[in-house]
Structure 1
Amino acid sequence: MHPLDQQTPQALVGHPVHSLHSRSGNPAGPHAESRGAGRTDTPLDSPTTYPRHTAVDDAYGLFTGITLAATGIAILGQSGLITGGIAGMALLGSFLSPYSAALLVPLINVPFLLFALFTMGRSFALKSVLVSFALGAGVKLVSPALNASGINPEIGWVIGGTLLGMGILCLARHNASMGGTGAMVLWIQRRFAINAGISQLVCDCILFGVAAFFMPADKLIWSLIGTVAMNLVLIRWHKPGRYRG
């Protein structure tokens, strides 16, 4: 038996294509040429296969992410619920103070945006600053359009949590975040390969521990379920290496 035939498929990954052909002729058999007609030798993970986002892509991606996230936050706020991350901090602050979540988002974000500047780079930080202020404006615009009498929390958790999660995912796809713990967990994922959704859940547990002293039990439970819905979006769809561009 040829030595190559005894190796596992993983062991063959490191062999250049030309070296395999030179050692064993045509390893795919006599019909490989006809089966491979029309194929290219470009690897699937070649950078040329995944062109970078254009400025227009980024602009519309950020707009979409901000719109989804702002709508999600507004729905959660009208439901009397909180969530994780900077949105949850702002919502909880709005329930405990005379200030709106739209105003608190950029204010609370300042230290986190400084962290993003030094750890995630200038481009990420600048985009996150833009998102932070645009998100506050978006929440202020969307909230009046919702039912002023409030939204049933039994419905608000799933709609608000899912929309917010999709907004965060969209922002991450275009190298930005809402700031807050979102910037921190994205850095942890890049640095330590720990899934951003899992890290966010840890941060959210701390936030909910604080909220437990101020919120009714039923609202806290619905908020927790909505936060799980938000983070499931990141856990399932924001995985390193799955998305290029």
Structure 2
Amino acid sequence: MERDFKEFLLRRLPFILLGTFISAVSVNALLVPHKLLSGGVTGIGIILFYVFSLPLSITVFVLNVPLFIMGYKYISPRFMYLSIIGMAAYSTFLELTKGVILPVGNPIIAALFGGLITGVGSGIVLRNGASMGGTGIISVIVNKYFSLDIGWVNMAVNAVILVLGALVISIELALFTIVSMYVSSKAIDAIQEGFNHGKMVIIVSNKSEQLAHEIMSKLHRGVTFIKGEGAYTKGKKQLIYCIVKTLELARLKEIVREIDESAFISVSDTKEVMGTGFTVNDRF
């Protein structure tokens, strides 16, 4: 077990360090110079830096320590250990990169790219089984005792940070921060879910056998039959279930229309697909 964890750590550690470095550079080079905020503990640390000139790296580290102490019962040991590494690395990189400033004169551009880069860094860390600490731990605890949705708890914490930011800095910059937070959340989702999105297709046809053969031979995609029954007619149906890449969808529709113009086709988005022809695993 210990050996497995060491091997796991060696695989993940470079990416955790990379993600924390990217996030730290973004905060110091884009957000702080333009008086913008970030979500969670980093946002609180930035406010304290603006008001009291407290070192951001030390503040973030100190604020995270009690959160980890409170959350150790509710977080898996592996995630806890990796997150401690992530938090320590993030605080260290915040200190090492505090003099880095990118020459961006427009605060909205700084908000957009600051949110994007910070989100990419956070997403890399999260996808590799760690975190940089923060209010996510509080969210887990609140969810445990009060059954409140974690996303809503995070949103409430960030709302408080934005209100404080509006009072301490300005309403305009607080609004720019909302843009930054939104872009950051989307970047995190993209990294977490992967970029290998696909389309889930369900086809209802009386020519399911022929359709399945054509899909497998021309698109080289696996097909699954699902037994169904019409609610009105009570007739037995053999539904076709398959997942294709987005660029293959038009060709799939063409194949279906060539064989059965009356076929019913349902198409849904999939966030991530793992398996032959798609993502093999979730490692970078």
Match of 2:228 in 1: none
Secondary structure at the counterpart of residue 73 of structure 2: helix
Aligned CA distance change for structure 1 residues 225 and 96 (closer, same or farther; 3 Å): same
The 5 A counterparts of 1:77-226 are: 77-147=32-102, 152-185=106-139, 199-226=153-180
* Cα separation, 2, equivalents of 1:189 and 1:236: 24
Match of 1:13 in 2: none
Aligned-pair CA distance for 1:150: 7.5
> Residue type of the partner of 1:159?
F
* Cα separation, 2, equivalents of 1:119 and 1:88: 24
Aligned-pair CA distance for 1:205: 1.2
Structure 2: segments with no counterpart, 5+ residues: 1-6, 194-270, 273-280
Aligned CA distance change for structure 1 residues 232 and 217 (closer, same or farther; 3 Å): same
Aligned CA distance change for structure 1 residues 112 and 183 (closer, same or farther; 3 Å): same
Q: CA RMSD in A?
A: 3.1
Matched, 1:54 2:11: no
> Residue type of the partner of 1:105?
V
> Residue type of the partner of 1:64?
L
Higher strand share: 2
Under a length normalisation based on structure 2, what TM-score does the superposition of the two structures give? Answer: 0.58
> Residue type of the partner of 2:125?
L
CA contact (8 A) 2:23 2:118 kept: yes
CA deviation vs aligned residue, 1:83-125 (integer Å, no higher than 9, x gap): 1111111111111112121111101112211233211122222
Match of 2:275 in 1: none
Aligned-pair CA distance for 1:230: 1.0
> Residue type of the partner of 1:171?
V
CA contact (8 A) 2:123 2:189 kept: no
Aligned CA distance change for structure 1 residues 200 and 72 (closer, same or farther; 3 Å): farther
- Runs of 4 or more, structure 1, over 6 Å off, are 186-193
CA deviation vs aligned residue, 1:130-149 (integer Å, no higher than 9, x gap): 222221221222231325x8
Under a length normalisation based on structure 1, what TM-score does the superposition of the two structures give? Answer: 0.67
Matched, 1:72 2:26: yes
Matched residue count: 191
Q: Percent identity?
A: 17
Structure 1: segments with no counterpart, 5+ residues: 1-52
Aligned CA distance change for structure 1 residues 66 and 121 (closer, same or farther; 3 Å): same
Higher RCO (C-alpha under 8 Å, 6+ residues apart):
1
